[in-house]
Structure formats: C-alpha cells, structure tokens
Copies of this chain bind each other. A is one copy, B any other.
C-alpha cells in the first residue's frame, strides 16, 4: 500500500525531472514538511533529512538514530546518515547523488522544490552545475483508495470528538454567577458543566481526549469560537460559553500516516435568537446547494460549488467575498497530508475523481457570532461520497453519542 502510493509519486518525479531537463531531484526537510512526508511515508524526526530521486531510484537519507523507522516506512532504499553537523542532510544527499549519477556531480542539473530550505539548497548548488527550483505536482490531490480510507478513519474520529462536545453542551446548564446581583441577568451569560463554568478550553480538552482515545491527534487544530470570536476563524482561546451564543467547533485532527480530517458544526445552547436561526438556515441551505453542484462529480468546475453556496447565502441576505459581515472565505479546500492543499473550490479547474475536499460555507458577524457547517467529501466519477455522517442541528442533542456509536475506530 505504502509502496504503491510511493511509486505513483516517484513516477511523477521522474517525469518532472525529465521535463525540467534535470538529472535528479533532491529535497531536504523534516517531519513537518508534508511533501517530504508524502514522498517518503516517513514520520521522521524534527531534524533535517534528505530525499534523492535519480536514475529511477528513490533514496531516503535518514538520521542515524531513525534509520530503523525509515526502513519500516519508506518504500525505497534507505541510507543512514550521521547526525553530526559535519555531515548535513544536504551533504548526505550529494553523496548519494554522486553514487547514482553516471556523469560528474559538478555537471549535474538538480530539480528541487521552492520549499527546500535555502541553506540546504545552497549546499547542493555549490557542488552541482545548477539547481532548478520549481513547484512539482506530486499528485497529492488524487487520493488512492488507501488514502481515502485513512481520511475516513480520521473523519470518524473527528465525529466522535464532535459528539463529545455536543454531549457536554447538551448537559451544560445556565446558572447564576456567584457575584451577580441580578440573578436573571446573570443567567444570560454563563453556562455551568460538571461543577464549573464551561469555557472553550474545557470543551477543547474533552474533544481532544476523545480524539486521542480514537487514535488520532488534535494537531493544534481544535478551533472553538463562542459568540463574537466565531468570526475569528482560528480562535483557540479560553472564553466562557454562554446560552444563546453560537459555539463553533472546527475539528481538524491528524490521523495515522498524517492524513487530516475536517469537520465543523455550530451549536447554540438554550434559546436560539433570530440572527442565529437565520444564519444557521442559510448556511445549511448553502451547503445543500454546494452538494447539489457536486452531484455531477468529476468534471464539475470547482468554482461552481462555491458559487452555488454564495448564491444561496445571498438569498438569505448574506454577502460573500471581501466583506466584514457574511462569508469571507472560500467554500472548500483539498485535504490530505496537509490540512489545506489543492484543489480549492474557488478554482476554475474541473474537479477530478479522488479529490478530497471540504464543503464549508459559513457566515459571520463580528458583533454577533458565526455559523459554519463543514463536511469532508471525496469526488467520484459520477458524484461524490460524503465521508461525514454527522447531523446538522443547532440545538445540542444529549443522545448524540449513542446515535453515532458506530463511528468507532
């Protein structure tokens, strides 16, 4: 499986190298470099390692202490590199390159990605004739069925996390703050849960523990906004949650082999106000319209999906684009070993079978709150498959955990 995935990318590398008129491809990075992870399947350490593709062969230069892990994970040959500074990842790559190439190293033209560190690039450039920096389509947007399964696994875990949040919100009770003089007024802005005030941080910890129990990690991506902070798209503070406020949870955990989920739901505890109801209805309809646009599957112009969503929002009086109130982000993006990757649902290009994308319309008012609903789908030849099976209801349902109990990993 890993092998097959790896080889598909290796073939694209070989093509890109030939097209660029280069003799080899070199990349240097660490575990946080998603292209390198995609190419090598190596979870790697937080120090630089190198990848070389030359003469039809792919080689990973792994730090010495991680060579065993590299052997397990990398579908190619592994060269163990010293961890001493005397031999950097780039220098190790040059040694491998020297072994692989039939012509002298100093005559070589090397293709590399613009994301390669400038220092490593300079080291390589100093020993070869030329380094050509060029973005390369590694085929990451096209998911294999094995990759689709990894997304499905982590999306199920995300749904378990969401169910935990929903259960906590459903069990939270409006309560008088201790220091409030007017009890009725205090009820309007405080929720208690499990003996204490409910905050976004307490909710986040419950969600993240559930993700961990499901075998995935929150990856610093458990975004929870409440009321006005919902408009701040990646808010991860510690705010009290009150009744009547929108609570927006955007969960993007990372699962085995580095594949991400992406799931957003919005709730309101207690009475739902007019703006919140209208926003929720609008976003729900906009998501339905986006799904309708996706019915054609492969070949659908990506921007048609975004435009279907924004058209529907407009019918509800919500503007889109570079606005302060309304929808000021795209309707969706590709997801893979990066949380954000190609394709964008704002693109003029047609969607293709195997694209894994989010469908996430939202509307925000910095003075009121925000609503977003997000599913993760796979584009197929004649439609799409939704990897998400989580209901959209604004009022938290206390029995949600049981109803989605089949989502176990």
Contact = CB atoms under 8 A, between A and B. Distances in A.
Contact of A46 (B68, B215, B340): B340
Interface in A204-220: 205-206, 208-215, 217-220
A208 B216 CA distance: 9
A160 to B, nearest CB: 12
Interface residues of A, number: 52
Nearest to A260: B46
A339 interface: yes
B118 A46 contact: no
A21 interface: no
B119 A117 contact: no
A205 to B, nearest CB: 5
Interface stretch (A233-241, A270-278, A299-307, A381-389): A233-241
A47 interface: yes
A234 B131 CA distance: 33
Contact of A236 (B43, B113, B218): B43
Interface string A130-173: 01010000000000000000000000000000000000000000
A311 interface: no
A69 B234 contact: yes
A121 interface: yes
A124 B53 CA distance: 28
A234 B66 contact: yes
A212 B212 contact: yes
Nearest to A68: B232
Contact of A220 (B119, B217, B234): B217
Contacts of A186: none
A210 B212 CA distance: 9
A122 B117 contact: no
Contacts of A209: 209-210, 212-213
Given A217-B208, A234-B66, A46 B121 contact: no
A231 B47 CA distance: 19
A309 interface: no
Contacts of A236: 43
Contacts of A210: 209
Interface in A231-273: 232-237, 254
A117 B114 contact: yes
A197 interface: no
Contacts of A328: 65
Interface in A28-45: 31-33, 43, 45
A156 to B, nearest CB: 14
Interface of A: 31-33, 43, 45-47, 65-66, 68-69, 72, 112-122, 131, 133, 201, 205-206, 208-215, 217-220, 232-237, 254, 328-329, 338-340
30 contacts: A45-B234, A45-B340, A66-B234, A68-B232, A69-B232, A69-B234, A69-B235, A72-B237, A113-B119, A114-B117, A114-B119, A114-B120, A114-B122, A115-B118, A117-B117, A118-B121, A118-B131, A118-B133, A122-B133, A201-B215, A205-B212, A208-B213, A209-B213, A211-B212, A212-B218, A217-B217, A217-B218, A217-B219, A217-B220, A220-B254
